[in-house]
Structure 1
Amino acid sequence: MKHQEILKKLKDLKITKEDKLLARKYGYLPYMVRRYREMLGDPLPLLEAFEVPPKPTIRCNFLKVGCGKLKERLESRGFVLKQVLWCPHAYEVLREPFSLSSTPEHLDGWFYIQDKASTLPPLVLGPKPGETVADLASAPGGKATHLAQLMGNSGRLILIERRRDRAKALMSNLERMEILNANVIIDDAYNASKYGPFDKALLDAPCTGEGVIARDPSRKRSRRPEDLALMHKVQAMLLNRALDSLKPGGELVYSTCSIAPEENELVIETILKTRDDVEVLDGGEAGSPGIEEYLGWEFPFAYKCRRLWPHVHGSEGFFVCKLRKL
């Protein structure tokens, strides 16, 4: 099985003296540095980028306010904003004179605070007004509220969240941002087909979080080969079930906040090898293409996927891939 193959390859990695030195210097498990070298050639720019948390980003809620008005209001208070390259209604906050979350504009639902990387999956999915769309792991609501905006607060937005405590945060954000087209369901994404079929779906899958090390340095040493192998198995299972929930011709975006090919390109490859009713669609031009070769695996579809790298794009590490059910 694929997860056993992953585990074997990770345990057979040839870790060099240089890998060990970098791992010791930056506080990683050595096998992680070796993998970064396999992905990138030189792991040092990534390791350095993970030492600096990315700037926060705000996404304008254009259902409630014009983005120009929001920008002008915040800049009058001393905030310095820069538009996100791939998202015209999102701004990196280069200077934050006081807490964004304490501003009247945030309390009134004029914007959502997030990393700029997480604005990409809803944009790649591209939901339209009137469609039936699902967010299959939707708390705390960043991507869910973004989907609602792109849908013009119309159609049906089904938000599935497994944990009741997280669903409360989701519902609070829906209320704050005046989202009107959403239904929140407490259930596991594995059961998504019960609530479909959907025109489009977003699966921001549970992952190791290997892209958010700058925000959570504990992940440098808390994820072992066994965790990656198990996570691949869970992700492929969830993606398979998510695809089942689509209408024929329906589209799905699979995303993670991980840079691990084991959780990204390799999950897509597993699905393509086990199903004949799925194709990879072009994910646009934001960020960089996916990884086409890793540890002997080849991913000929990866140029259609998108990756955001901390050392290249100044964001968290992220992976996005768009699929169509035939």
Structure 2
Amino acid sequence: MFGLERYRPIVDDWEAFRAALFRPQPATIRANALKTTPEALRRALEALGFALTPAPFDPALFTIDAPPIPPGKTVLHWLGHFYVQEAAAALPVLALAPEPEERVLDLAAAPGGKTTQIAERMGDRGLVVGNDPDGARLQSLLANVYRLGTTAVAVTRQDGRRLSGGRPFDRVLVDAPCTAEGNVRRRAGARRTRSPGEHRRLAALQTALLERGVALARDGGVVVYSTCTFAPEENEAVVDAVVRKAGGAVRIEPLPEGLPGVPGLEAWEGARYVPEMVLTRRIYPHHLDSGGMYIARLRRLAPPPWADRLPPSPGARGAGLERPDPALVRALLDGFRDRFGLPPTALEGLTFFVRGGDVWATRLADVPDGPELVAAGIRLFRLQPGEGKMPSPGPLRNAKPTSFALLHFAQEARANVADVDAEALLALLEGRRIAPPAAAALERGFVALRFRGTVIGLGHLDADGLRSGLPRGRAEDLRAALLEERALHEAP
């Protein structure tokens, strides 16, 4: 049996819904406002042969019909100029509507699409905590935070149902784990019939996460609950249970104007929900030629009855995070600027922390540290073993800048920059040494690799030649993107 047949009575256009489920889903991308503009991204991708159609509700989103190569296998994607994100998945953050300088929590954040979208809409100013309990999924979250260059994100690993308290958040996103029926166009297994027990088990988890999200918000704060499933048991029923249990401490409010979808359900299989449930939104695949999504926007008015169950804050710097000696920071930054000919204003406005022998750069004035903290901002330097204090004389002698430091903070480099073409870059990415560019005045040691006018990462120059300092995984991904684009240009 077609597992989604149970939703026929509540879908606004069943035939259009069913037809969309069996139609290939177009690719959708989100321009990264921290790196580019929608207009510049569109021009750059169109030059590669892509045809982009902007979304009517968000100029940063584009649909790509019949892309010549997968958009995620382009150099622009590798550089962090965009994120591949289906249109429906972008809506919860638009409903959250974060503002610069706010404190925002993404309670179930991996793989990072919504976390980075929040940071982008905040102009990378404020605090974004991206939390997820799954260590494997956290790696994709971290990779996207680093690739897109979001310095205002702190990544934590904790069960969201027990996330520690502390200073409350202005906005909380609870994008809850679910049966993922809205992903049916990308995962055929999502069409299978779900058992009542499966819905109940997930609903219990979702309710606990939403309760924790409300408890972590400030009075007057916004909490957005979203899933990518069609099941009322995991959507309206969860919101209804939390609102009723809150006893007036939480209300449902309308989503921002202009977002697509149809009103939430007033009732399902004999259960009636609070009247305000019609203010929530259901997005079906045929609405956006995308996946499915459910979104509810809540406002916390007062502490809910369960707020006193929050565990205490773990306290500052409980995970080995510490402010470095100001002299160390000055020496590192001066060495970085001098080595690459950067202006004195480079790296201004950042705060620096040391953890695990690494120096991190973030725009956070203070980091919500604790045992669950995984990362804060972007790793800027790796201190050499045994060199946790001052580096030895000479620029960066005992500290190694990361490739992400160069990618995100050294685009104005004027010294020790090696410009490489595609052939030279491929050789470097394959682990070979090359002769340094003849026109470049390079000193031995750290070098900024520049390709097509963009600094892409770290290189090393010694008596044997120039070699890449990019991490292996990043080097492999860039090599694959270069080969994809080469094949595209060579196609008849």
TM class by shorter chain equals 0.7 to 0.9
Q: CA deviation at 1:321?
A: 0.7
Alignment-derived partner of residue 317 in structure 1: 292
Aligned residue number for residue 96 of structure 1: 67
> Quick check: 1:193–1:244 contact (8 Å CA) kept in 2?
no
> Quick check: 2:38–2:59 contact (8 Å CA) kept in 1?
no
Please name the residue that 1:286 is paired with. 259
How far apart, in 2, do the equivalents of 1:202 and 1:124 lie? 10
Residues 61, 149 of structure 1: 8 Å contact kept: yes
| 1:297 equivalenced with 2:271 (yes/no) | yes
Of Structure 1 and Structure 2, the greater helix share is in: 1
Matched, 1:82 2:56: no
- Inter-partner Cα distance in structure 2 for 1:272 and 1:112: 34
Residue 283 of structure 2: which of 285, 308, 317 is its match? 308
Partner of 1:138: 109
Shift of 1:57: 0.6
1:13 aligned partner: none
Secondary structure in structure 2 of the residue aligned to 1:38? coil
* Cα distance, 1:223 vs structure 2: 2.2
Tell me the residue number matched to 2:28.
57
Q: CA deviation at 1:303?
A: 2.4
Tell me the CA shift for residue 201 of structure 1.
0.6
The verdict on how the C-alpha distance between 1:67 and 1:294 changes in structure 2, with shifts beyond 3 A counting, is same
Q: Give per-residue Cα distances to partners, 1:230-288, cap 9 Å, x unaligned.
A: 21121111111111111111111100001111111111111111112000111134122
Q: How many angstroms does 1:180 deviate by? A: 0.5
Structure 1 residue 193, shift from structure 2 partner: 4.0
Q: Distance in 2 between matches of 1:206 and 1:68?
A: 34
Q: Percent identity?
A: 35
Contact 1:78 1:95 in 2 (8 A): no
Amino acid in the other structure paired with 2:255: G
Aligned-residue Cα RMSD (Å) equals 1.5
The answer to whether the 8 Å contact 2:223/2:299 transfers is yes
Pick aligned residue for 1:164 from 117, 120, 135: 135
Partners in 2 of 1:283 and 1:45 — Cα distance?
25
2:178 is aligned with 1:207: yes
Contact 1:117–1:308 (CA under 8 A) maintained in structure 2: yes
Which shifted more, 125-134 or 308-317?
308-317
The answer for unaligned runs of 5 or more in structure 1 is 1-22
Q: Which residue of the partner structure matches residue 226 of structure 1?
A: 197
Question: Could you tell me which residue of structure 2 aligns to residue 122 of structure 1?
Answer: 93
Q: Deviations over 1:137-188 (max 9, x none)?
A: 1111100000000111011111111011111111111111100001101111
Check 1:47–1:248 CA distance in 2 against 1; reply closer, same or farther (3 A cut): same
Q: Post-superposition shift, 1:41?
A: 7.1
Are the aligned partners of 1:243 and 1:325 in contact in 2 as well (CA < 8 Å)?
Answer: yes
> Is 1:182 matched up with 2:153?
yes
Distance across 1 between alignment mates of 2:156 and 2:12? 44
Give the C-alpha shift of residue 42 in structure 1.
6.4
67-76 vs 48-57, which moves further: 48-57
Q: Secondary structure at the match of 2:226?
A: strand
Cα deviations across residues 178-219 of structure 1 (Å, max 9, x unaligned)?
A: 000011011111123435411111010000001111111112
Instruction: Give the equivalent residue in structure 2 for 1:6.
Output: none
SS at match of 1:95: coil
- 1:106, 1:167 → 2: CA distance? 20
Distance in 2 between residues matched to 1:44 and 1:65, nearest whole Å: 39
Q: Deviations over 1:67-105 (max 9, x none)?
A: 101101101111111111221111011130012112111
* Residues 296 and 245 of structure 1: CA distance in aligned 2, closer, same or farther (over 3 Å): same
Q: Tell me the distance in 1 between the aligned counterparts of 2:31 and 2:185.
A: 25
What is the match of residue 154 of structure 1?
125
Query: What is the letter of the counterpart of residue 226 of structure 1?
Result: G
Paired residues in the alignment total 297
CA contact (8 A) 1:229 1:262 kept: yes
TM-score of the superposed pair, with normalisation by structure 2: 0.58
Deviates more, 1:172-181 or 1:48-57: 48-57
Distance in 1, matches of 2:80 and 2:13, equals 42
Query: Match for residue 484 of structure 2?
Result: none
- Residue 42 of structure 2 aligns to a residue whose secondary structure is helix
Aligned to 2:479: none
What amino acid sits opposite 1:317 in the alignment? G
Once residues 26 and 138 of structure 2 are traced to their aligned partners in structure 1, the CA distance between those partners, rounded to angstroms, is 26
Q: Aligned to 1:238, which of 197, 202, 209?
A: 209
The CA distance in 2 between the partners of 1:86 and 1:121, in whole Å, is 13
Contact 1:192 / 1:242 at 8 angstroms: preserved in 2? Answer: no
What does residue 16 of structure 1 align with?
none
